[in-house]
Structure 1
Amino acid sequence: MSDRPVVTRIAPSPTGMMHIGTARTALFNWLYARHTGGKFLMRIEDTDRERSTEAAVQVIFDGLKWLGLEADEPPVFQFARVDRHREVAQELLARGAAYKDFMSAEELEAEREKARAEGRVVRSPWRDATPNDAPARPFVVRLKSPQEGETLVDDQVKGQVRFQNKDLDDLILLRTDGTPTYNLAVVVDDHDMGVTHVIRGDDHLNNAARQTLIYQGMGWDVPVWAHLPLIHGPDGAKLSKRHGAQAVSEFDDMGYLPEAMRNYLAKLGWGHGDDEIFSDEQAIAWFDIKDVVGAPARLDWAKLNHLNNHYIRQADVERLTTLTANVHRGRDWKLREADLPVLARTIPLVRDGAKTMLELADATVFVLKQRPLELPEKTLGMLNDETRGRLSRLRDRVAGQDWTVSALEQAIRSFAEAEGVGIGKFGPALRGVLSGGSPAPDLAGTLVALGKDESLGRLDDALSRSA
């Protein structure tokens, strides 16, 4: 297929959450298509009609959209192509590459027991029967797999994987009710969509051998295979609920940015030298499916948090303001229109320490509080006469200052020197008065975030309280 433009695909089943493993598979398909100047397509494998709900399909669309991995063409829905799958099964019959199997359930069970006893795969007695022998009863259509030699899967990640044909059973293509099986549908859809590279999880490696035989039975080009290792938890065990988030939506809810997730997922099984942080453009330029390692990747929360912090620090303040406001609204905080510019003013002062958007939201709570603030007991205990007097004098000092971090830092330092005390003598009380006990940046940053009027107002409120 080297002379054809690359076409990759992601083919999730809409049966619940969109797993992080599916997200990484989508990313690798997207990166390889972009790297080669090809196309990235999507197929929804919705043949499980009970579980394939409209809402479940939307979860896939939303997850890929959030990740920034939208397909180049409208999605293909597998269930709508059932007639085409049956058509190919009939052609395989006509070519002699498939046969009708009339074994009853009882006969099949007896054959299975015999096959187990003889250490071989199931072989139907109808495999070599003539059409004239066909009885008038239900049948399945099976692929007539070769019984000698081997089937080679030349995998871009795993290397050459050889399957002995004697160990490959005659897989069912059509069930007795005429519905196509997974392996048939996948091959027909990938062929008709022009897919040149099948990049998917290595739990499908065994399917690649069976699917290769279907391609060969139809005389179609076999795609390039690339089977990705699984993602494990930090302890090396298969990723599960006990390791935390598994679904793309959960990472969104936890406050991770999509660009951080793309960067992090790209590092799960692939890398470019010692580069930890790279742009989409760099990833596209560097990515080759042959460079994916065969060993399982481990989810590392510390690395993800480090990356997310980097992208939070790099992000546009207006965007962060919108995202932070959404977190607050999700926590039932009643935001006013006037709060948005205050958040925008605060975010540059607090974002360096935030690993997630939830932490960034936590760091901005202090500016959203309404006066008069309810002060914590610790702060109230500090407000003795001496400290009140000192805060009152400090208030008058800063009121005449330029309201910038550098000017206020200098004013606070010079005030402490004039008072003959360290900042520790009044700083904790001032912080409590200004923040109401919520996390806040340094004193000058807190004053700038609140603004002059709000800062002086909070000081006045505290100083007017009865001792």
Structure 2
Amino acid sequence: MTTVTRFAPSPTGYLHVGGARTALFSWLHARKHGGRFVLRIEDTDLERSTIESVNAILEGMTWLGLDYDEGPFYQTHRFGEYRAVVDKLLAEDKAYRCYCSRERLEALREEQMANKLKPRYDGHCRHRTDHPEGQPYVVRLRNPQDGVVEFDDLIRGRITISNDELDDLILLRSDGSPTYNLTVVVDDADMGITHVIRGDDHINNTPRQINILRAMGRDTPSYAHVPMILGPDGSRLSKRHGAVSVMQFRDDGYLPEALINYLARLGWSHGDQEIFSLDELIQKFDVTDVNKAASSFNMEKLQWLNQHYIKNDDPARIAHLLSPHIGALGIDPCEGPALIEVVKAMQERAKTLVEMAELSSFFYRDFEDYDETSAKKHLRPVALEPLERVRAALAALPEWTPEAIHGCVAEVSAALELGMGKVAQPLRVAVVGRAASPGIDVTLHLVGREATLRRVDRAIGFVKGRAAEAGNY
């Protein structure tokens, strides 16, 4: 039997990383077993579902590289199929019409809660045979009143629920619209879903859905309920913990392969291995190895992974991905050094593309202020002569190459009988604004002769000002 999995989000917002992890696990299970992965949009909540949310889900799936073999299917296109199933269940006496008013149901609930009983429908219309014309009704499943529902959860093991804990759930609302539990079951059956991998918040729905499948005479898929993702404070991961939207991670400068790697490891492991290519994940992932306990989202771990992928990726691809982040700073990367050369220089220095863009801005435009600590340490009166000497030497270079720049700094250091750092560090702060950058030769080469000399002149003026304040000039 061909393995078929599905991802079935509701288009009522962005693609949450929790949903993305569920989609990833479903995708990996299908790919590992040579099966099919289906995307289904559960858009029956007409008030909250939006085309913008649908597009956000599709965009997130595309960015992550989670391609689907079938779909996207839309539940709003399948209302006829749901109605046909309900009509068949009614004809077979496996469902019935319930005419109970909202007032009666609310009073029943209040009474049950007052008696400390679990709120549930009492089967008032279960044996009713009349059909009052014009009176609104819902259609309920005739749930078995004895026996149990058992299923082997691929993550949690055997789960047993007594049927007397389940009431006759509504399949069709009074306005004729189908309920979630009905649509999911009909879709899973019609689409041949063999493995339902979803969040553990659906565990309570599973026995109800199994009973619907049994009433329909359809096979039951295998179920795997994935634990939720927690924030650092132990509560469910939400916006208050920071980014939770897949596309927000893209906008924050994360690579899709880093987020995929992180989400795969969030509740699943294969020995001590931390870094996985997509092919390795397909080969080694097993849903039965997913941890039963909830996992906490660790931003530092994600940043570590992201830095690894940035460092080891093709500079041309990183330059392509970095370009919009540079543009967001108001910088045109065409007006300055080649972006791919900047990436080569900065590739090991940033945890995100946003950070790389910010750290690289000095290559394209003058900075406003010196880093206070760097200036205090390196732009002191003692740095005045090294800066003036190296400025003159740089201005006189016949060619502006990294090799020539390095030789220039080395010659000035030797002439002043100073270590390279005593010349290079004041020069670096003068040109970059801080005491950290790639090698001084590569840095100055990419900044360019004109901008370098202009910034050194500014630094010389800054040092002279400090010396005057101190009475040393």
| TM score, norm. by length of structure 2 | 0.89
Q: Which amino acid aligns with 1:335?
A: D
Question: How far did 1:417 drift?
Answer: 3.0
Contact 1:413-1:423 within 8 A present in 2 as well: yes
Which piece of structure 1 moves more, 95-104 or 294-303? Answer: 95-104
- Per-residue displacement from partner, 1:74-119 (whole Å, max 9, x unpaired)? 3000111112111111111122211111222233334434555383
Q: Which amino acid aligns with 1:365?
A: S
- Change in 2 beyond 3 A, CA 1:282/1:144: same
Question: How far did 1:138 drift?
Answer: 1.4
Tell me the secondary structure at the aligned position of residue 203 of structure 2.
helix
Paired position in structure 1 for 2:183: 185
Paired position in structure 2 for 1:431: 428
Structure 2 distance, partners of 1:351, 1:198, is 41
Contact 1:349-1:449 within 8 A present in 2 as well: no
Contact 2:394-2:408 within 8 A present in 1 as well: no
Paired position in structure 2 for 1:5: 2
Aligned length: 456
- Per-residue displacement from partner, 1:366-392 (whole Å, max 9, x unpaired)? 11016xx76749487659752344223
- Per-residue displacement from partner, 1:120-158 (whole Å, max 9, x unpaired)? 63222221233xx22222111100111111111321011
- Change in 2 beyond 3 A, CA 1:387/1:418: closer
2:205 pairs, out of 204, 207, 220, with 207
Contact 2:383-2:463 within 8 A present in 1 as well: no
Q: Note if 1:99 corresponds to 2:89.
A: no
* Unaligned ranges ≥5, structure 2: 465-473
Contact 1:263-1:279 within 8 A present in 2 as well: yes
* Unaligned ranges ≥5, structure 1: none
Contact 1:184-1:211 within 8 A present in 2 as well: yes
Which piece of structure 1 moves more, 407-416 or 148-157? Answer: 407-416
Tell me the secondary structure at the aligned position of residue 39 of structure 2.
strand
Structure 2 distance, partners of 1:207, 1:466, is 71
Q: Note if 1:66 corresponds to 2:63.
A: yes
What is the percent sequence identity of the aligned residues? Answer: 44
- Per-residue displacement from partner, 1:18-65 (whole Å, max 9, x unpaired)? 111001011111111110111111111111222211111111111111
1:265-284 pair list within 5 angstroms: 265-284=263-282
Contact 1:7-1:33 within 8 A present in 2 as well: yes
Structure 2 distance, partners of 1:415, 1:295, is 62
Tell me the secondary structure at the aligned position of residue 364 of structure 1.
helix
1:363 pairs, out of 334, 359, 366, with 359
Paired position in structure 2 for 1:169: 167
1:87-236 pair list within 5 angstroms: 87-113=84-110, 115-116=112-113, 117=115, 119=117, 121-130=120-129, 133-136=130-133, 137-236=135-234
Structure 1 distance, partners of 2:69, 2:434, is 50
Question: How far did 1:445 drift?
Answer: 2.9
* C-alpha RMSD of matched pairs (Å): 2.7
- Per-residue displacement from partner, 1:260-301 (whole Å, max 9, x unpaired)? 000000001111110000100000001111111110011111
Which piece of structure 1 moves more, 321-330 or 269-278? Answer: 321-330
- Change in 2 beyond 3 A, CA 1:386/1:161: same
Contact 1:403-1:451 within 8 A present in 2 as well: no
- Change in 2 beyond 3 A, CA 1:70/1:95: same
Tell me the secondary structure at the aligned position of residue 352 of structure 1.
coil
1:83 pairs, out of 75, 80, 85, with 80
Q: Note if 1:55 corresponds to 2:68.
A: no
Tell me the secondary structure at the aligned position of residue 151 of structure 1.
strand
Tell me the secondary structure at the aligned position of residue 79 of structure 1.
helix
Contact 1:401-1:411 within 8 A present in 2 as well: no
Paired position in structure 1 for 2:443: 446
- Change in 2 beyond 3 A, CA 1:108/1:390: same
Paired position in structure 1 for 2:386: 387
Paired position in structure 2 for 1:23: 20
| TM score, norm. by length of structure 1 | 0.90
Structure 2 distance, partners of 1:36, 1:382, is 69
Structure 2 distance, partners of 1:385, 1:348, is 32
Which piece of structure 1 moves more, 354-363 or 373-382? Answer: 373-382
- Change in 2 beyond 3 A, CA 1:442/1:118: closer
Paired position in structure 2 for 1:246: 244
Tell me the secondary structure at the aligned position of residue 75 of structure 1.
strand
- Change in 2 beyond 3 A, CA 1:439/1:37: same
Question: How far did 1:336 drift?
Answer: 5.1
Contact 2:3-2:35 within 8 A present in 1 as well: yes
1:318-333 pair list within 5 angstroms: 318-331=316-329, 333=330
Tell me the secondary structure at the aligned position of residue 65 of structure 1.
helix
Tell me the secondary structure at the aligned position of residue 181 of structure 2.
helix
Contact 1:375-1:432 within 8 A present in 2 as well: no
Contact 1:103-1:124 within 8 A present in 2 as well: no
Q: Which amino acid aligns with 2:212?
A: I
- Change in 2 beyond 3 A, CA 1:446/1:101: same
Which piece of structure 1 moves more, 86-95 or 237-246? Answer: 237-246
Structure 2 distance, partners of 1:384, 1:112, is 81
Question: How far did 1:412 drift?
Answer: 3.3
Structure 1 distance, partners of 2:80, 2:141, is 18
Paired position in structure 2 for 1:416: 413
Question: How far did 1:448 drift?
Answer: 3.5
Structure 2 distance, partners of 1:451, 1:383, is 26
Structure 1 distance, partners of 2:213, 2:319, is 52
